[in-house]
Structure 1
Amino acid sequence: MTDPQRPTQATIAEWAARFVARGVPALGEPLVLPQDDDENGDAFIVLIHLRHAPAAIYLQLDESGRWVATLTERPSDLTGTSLDLIALGAEVEAAGQLCAYLQERTDDLAAPPA
């Protein structure tokens, strides 16, 4: 059974769409994908494919209610110009902003009514 304070996949997809609508140019289109989890039937990840590196960042809600980010492993070294590095940094920063936004929204959902 899903924890009533844990946002659903549909809710997270809506939040991610709202965040993207704010106009964060470095962020691609985040994908909200189901994840196999026997304990939580509504487990999912938010996947962000990086455009300036052969890798991705995925965000997920851990068991304590914190959003955490994982940078996937790359198959080889990454070499680029200063502009490539700046663009990659902007992508990572944008993913961090999305992670913080999801945390804020999740905290609001879990807060007791005023």
Structure 2
Amino acid sequence: MSTPNRRFLLDENVRIDLARFLKAGGFDVLLAPKSAPDSKLAAISKKEKRVLVTNDSDFEDYAKNTIYAVVLLKVPQSKASTLTLAFDRLLRKDEDMAGKIVVLRAHDEDVSPLTTELKE
């Protein structure tokens, strides 16, 4: 059973292989609607308590009162295995992602609290 911080919203710019990987692991995964604006993705993330997974660095500027959590992918995605291995490593740490932004790279990650105010 997925805990609330193990529910994911995958931006359309994320490889579908990651959705397959997460679903195979029993996670609740929602694919973002095509061409959805960032504000809509943030609202879905907040309302449904889903961690937004994206390649879009614009989400680094979102405040914790506007989005649930973000995993910003900085992983080379030419090979699906590089992405899924990095994400698996993150999941194994069992980090509570609520209110945080995780910058995920191939071999490490940085976890920080989301800002308290939206940056302009």
**Greater strand percent: which structure?**
2
TM-score scaled to structure 2, two decimals?
0.28
Q: Which protein shows a greater Rg? A: 1
